[in-house]
Structure 1
């Protein structure tokens, strides 16, 4: 089974309920000057926590969605809040050194820190492996921004530290991840968490699979930290997962095991070719209209394959239109959902009628090797 959805979608049902509450009854803040506050609240384990950050949305009952100075997003119910204070001083994200110290205080003294120019890596195993992972991160970072610059999309670099937690083995990963995300951790070897803005992985003996996971999840993290995608906005999963699988393909002939963006993803190509025989006529429509196929274990494998194939096809044949489509999606607001019809209509406005796109898509993918 492929890695599951971006972790937020399996993170916490309570978050979804709070999000719906905020979405139904919010005070807009996007077009005003930043609303910076210091809020003290009781966390889910009933510990007191004080955070400083920018209010993204606020409900009339006092519930808030807030981006903290370390890049985390908190969704806080009014009955959790014990104190709130509006801050007039200038606000800025914490530094990488501050992020490292904050993470060490949370994770404990069995962890060490390795910093690269753009990443803060917390690890509990081999420093050599942490440096390997850091090298992959930096390769991706450079190539990611170069790729989009070549598409004439000058994305801003992240303003919050990019934090990654690298565990020494599967047991260590399960201990950490299960506490954060629950039993879903058993089916994963890595994930990016929309709420914490951190990615987590461990040292998998299969290095090819390891490289794919590291690049895949780090692509999610970059996309959500440079404005390509907005956290908690309506980001179709075929877009998010299609991009991550487009970027991830390892190159086992290369000592670094990853060197270029957009190589044919052989794993997903094989899954695409295997599933195409039973592909329903409305497969493209259902992929666009809803994320359900990614969430269902019986349909997830082919959904990932089709999402990769569609992304590959559009970038290779309609690159300008694809970038414009992503730019439109990037304007989405947190908690604002599009209907199934709106999703399909937005796609057709960018690429043309669905039946014609699907015909061209199938024809093109038959030639891909």
Structure 2
């Protein structure tokens, strides 16, 4: 999106409730709108930075805050949505907003020193902050596990860029920090996550928050009465206990990257089948690799197993239509595993057999205007404008193709 102040034609309260609900974690999902800086080797669009403001407001705990941020949105009632220099989205109602002063400089992200100081103040001195080329890792989990994760993050960033970047629609670099917070164990993660996810914290091993633009994980090798993992081999040995361990890390990191390089747009109506389908497409681990993940596009064995069982025994005739037109099935506990499996399977089918149209659809969705939600009918119309009107025929092709895929 081009940087500009956006006016949203409703009160800020509806925007705040929206932002608080955006997580990708069982996945659960979050928000970034990166500036148009292209990937290396692609045509480089002009970078347009937003102006920087100083906002003074009271937060929900009645404490006065003074921050430097870009104004992303101004609601009709005078409330604002702000993008902070560490990538978070903050809101202030007209009653909370005390003043707004335009500063004589453009928005820039926090530099490494500023960001380390802020994260240390937020999480405590038992967290270490390290920088890689694209990520800032704030970790309580120990040096070895943090290094292993950082290598995995950077490998995924490179692979994702190489997989999707093209001259016609180049990806861009993130305009705000990509922050990964890693807790030392499940208990510390759940204590933190419960403040954001409530009861949903118990159902996830990690999440990416659209509001904070942060990926939050914990040391998946840390178990009661177990010694720490001192080597990469130790880490992989422990992670092999569940195939979802490495997949969780890749899944959430895929969300974070995709929302920051132009594949998805923060604030916009991103169909969950598309965002979750892409994350599950990338998440398949390779435990023979020293990082537990090496490449992309292989069949996802447990998603495939779940989908084939769903397709054989309980998949209704309108399953594809409801997947495309609504996110409702992702919110239903009894349907969520089948829905994630179908999102993976449908994305796998489209990428493997209709990649040009799939990329066209990704760009169509990424170009949607912020905070304007489509009706189910509009979602179907957008999909059919790219893939054709005959959904029944496409569904037959999809099912036939997936029956041929082996585990």
When normalised by structure 2's length, the TM-score is 0.81
Per the TM alignment, residue 72 of structure 1 is displaced from its structure 2 partner at its CA by: 1.0
Q: Tell me the equivalent position of 1:326.
A: 362
Per the TM alignment, residue 222 of structure 1 is displaced from its structure 2 partner at its CA by: 0.5
Deviations 1:246-265 (A, max 9, x none): 01100122222100011111
Q: Tell me the equivalent position of 2:371.
A: 335
Spell out the pairing of 1:153-302 with structure 2 (5 A cutoff): 153-205=169-221, 207=239, 208-277=243-312, 278-302=314-338
Contact 1:151 1:323 (8 Å CA) reproduced? no
C-alpha spacing 1:187/1:252, structure 2 compared with 1 (3 Å): same
C-alpha spacing 1:151/1:202, structure 2 compared with 1 (3 Å): farther
Per the TM alignment, residue 152 of structure 1 is displaced from its structure 2 partner at its CA by: 5.6
Spell out the pairing of 1:1-369 with structure 2 (5 A cutoff): 16=14, 18=16, 34-149=50-165, 153-205=169-221, 207=239, 208-277=243-312, 278-352=314-388, 353-369=390-406
Per the TM alignment, residue 82 of structure 1 is displaced from its structure 2 partner at its CA by: 2.1
C-alpha spacing 1:221/1:360, structure 2 compared with 1 (3 Å): same
Q: Tell me the equivalent position of 1:26.
A: none
Per the TM alignment, residue 147 of structure 1 is displaced from its structure 2 partner at its CA by: 0.6
Per the TM alignment, residue 341 of structure 1 is displaced from its structure 2 partner at its CA by: 0.4
Structure 1: segments with no counterpart, 5+ residues: 1-13, 22-29
Distance (Å, rounded) in 2 between the aligned partners of 1:230 and 1:96: 25
Structure 2: segments with no counterpart, 5+ residues: 1-11, 20-34, 36-47, 222-237
Distance (Å, rounded) in 2 between the aligned partners of 1:151 and 1:304: 31
Contact 2:86 2:177 (8 Å CA) reproduced? yes
C-alpha spacing 1:40/1:204, structure 2 compared with 1 (3 Å): same
Per the TM alignment, residue 335 of structure 1 is displaced from its structure 2 partner at its CA by: 1.1
C-alpha spacing 1:19/1:181, structure 2 compared with 1 (3 Å): closer
SS in 2 for 1:79: coil
C-alpha spacing 1:303/1:151, structure 2 compared with 1 (3 Å): farther
Distance (Å, rounded) in 2 between the aligned partners of 1:221 and 1:142: 14
Deviations 1:130-175 (A, max 9, x none): 1111111011011010111269642001121110001111011012
Write out the 4+ residue segments of structure 1 that deviate beyond 3 Å after TM superposition.
14-21, 32-36, 150-153
SS in 1 for 2:104: coil
Contact 2:109 2:175 (8 Å CA) reproduced? yes
